[in-house]
Amino acid sequence: MGRRKKKNDGDTPADTKPTSNRKAHPALPPINWTDELVHQLLTIIERPYIRKKIIGTEDGNEEPVKTDGASKNCVYGEIAGELFPEMYATDSKSMISRIGSKIS
């Protein structure tokens, strides 16, 4: 029986490397959280359905509502889309992460 030929690094062309399915996004600029932006963020968080998802209760008299990470991320995306529509359209995952970090 013949032996298999060892594959050398030079046998494989460089352009056959597996590529990522994720598109490369341009780096987003840092967010300058002015007083006005913080006020807008708080106004959005105070909406009953958003407060219920993020904090877990609508007011102090209710039992806490269990929320999962997926529903919170949807709310963070909604907030990011409202406050920063251009940046959210460019890279929604990064904006969801930034809003989540600011709120928590």
Structure letter (DSSP) for residue 21: S
pLDDT digits (tens, 9 = 90+) for 15-47: 555 555 666 667 889 999 999 999 999 999 999
Q: Is the pTM of this model over 0.75?
A: no
pLDDT in the model for residue 36 = 97
How far, in Å, CA of 95 to CA of 28, rounded? 9
Can you spell out the DSSP letters for 26-94?
PPPPPP---HHHHHHHHHHHTSHHHHHHHTS-SSTTSPPPP--HHHHHHHHHHHHHHH-HHHHHH-HHH
Helix axes 35-45, 69-83, angle to 10 degrees: 140
Domain boundaries, the chain: 33-103
